[in-house]
Amino acid sequence: MAQIPLSSSAEAERPDLDAERDDQVREIAPDVAYKQLAIVNVMFVGPPQAGDGGWVLIDAGLFGSAAAIRSAARARFGGEGRPSAIVMTHGHFDHVGSLATLARDWDVPVYAHPAELPFLNGTESYPPADPNVGGGLMARLSPLFPTSPVDVGQWLRALPPDGSVPPLPEWRAVHTPGHAPGHISLWRARDRLLIAGDAVVTTQQESVYAAITQEPQMHGPPMYFTPDWASAKRSVAALAALEPELVITGHGAAMQGPELRAALHRLAEQFDDIAVPENRRG
């Protein structure tokens, strides 16, 4: 699937959805950008040069990413690059690798869905990965990926049950379980912008080649770490029903426009054939 350019009304300011900025983030809206760190994305929400406390980090990347995240934040927002909070879509290893370091260094609250808290406060591990799903080397290597929890309990806060996101008043947390029990996506209605986490991804994450090249394609959640396919299917249907204009996922390039919506609806309608692996465990 081709990457979609921004609509004509925005082309003068941002001619390429994934245009690289000097601060090495990719801006998809005036106050939303993301940075690819190896195989995973982190998101920055807040206007450029907002200063310390004027922005929010979404997810925390792989282990060893803290310096790159801080550097990008300082370049984009100014000051020491310190956010008001960190919001987690979920707690898998490739999203929490630098979470403990950043939470400690910044001393800011970490928000997550209540069902995800056990994986973020050190009390519960995820199920082991399923290498039987096929699709490439990433899947075969998945039993080596960490499943043990991180412990950021000192900074951890539960997102409210009404779907509000305290550090992001314009946004709503949409519970999208399946890939993880407390997985959330983030939705902003005024510009129909969706941060999907891993509920859907725009690369074939099971393949090392696809994960590196990032050719935009709509896929279900990473198969080797998705234990609840019935919930994952309902989550994709819920996201398709939002009719997003822009989407950034945990893995892959951002996408936009009618082709995005068509691909998302096709995934929802044919989820069992497209997303669910035949040789999954159980």
pLDDT at 223: 87
Q: Digits of tens for pLDDT over the chain (282 positions)? A: 333 333 222 333 333 444 433 458 999 999 999 999 988 999 999 999 999 999 999 999 999 999 999 999 999 999 999 999 999 999 999 999 999 999 999 999 999 999 999 999 999 999 988 777 766 676 677 676 878 999 999 999 999 999 999 999 999 999 999 999 999 999 999 999 999 999 999 986 544 444 454 466 899 999 888 999 999 999 999 999 999 999 999 999 999 999 999 999 999 999 999 999 887 654
Query: For position 196, what pLDDT does the model report?
Result: 98
Residue 262 lies in a domain: yes
Q: What is the CATH number of the domain that holds 269?
A: 3.60.15.10
In a domain, 46, yes or no: yes
Domain assignment of residue 217, given as a range: 8-274
User: How many separate domains does the chain show?
Assistant: 1
User: Smallest Cα–Cα separation from 245: which of 39, 10, 44?
Assistant: 10
Confidence (pLDDT) at 241: 98
3-state secondary structure the chain: CCCCCCCHHHHCCCCCCCCECCCCCEEEECCEEEEEECCEEEEEECCCCCCCCCCEEECCCCCCCHHHHHHHHHHHHCCCCCCCEEECCCCCHHHHCCHHHHHHHHCCCEEECHHHHHHCECCCCCCCCCHHHCCCHHHHHHHHCCCCCCECCCCEEECCCCCECCCCCCCEEEECCCCCCCCEEEEECCCCEEEEECCCECCCCCCHHHHHHCCCCCECCCHHHCCCHHHHHHHHHHHHHCCCCEEEECCCCCEEHHHHHHHHHHHHHCHHHHCCCCCCCC
Query: 89 in a domain, yes or no?
Result: yes
279 within domain boundaries: no
Residue 2 within any structural domain of the chain: no
* pLDDT attached to residue 19: 40
Residue 280 lies inside a defined structural domain of this protein: no
The pLDDT score that the predictor gives to residue 269 is 97
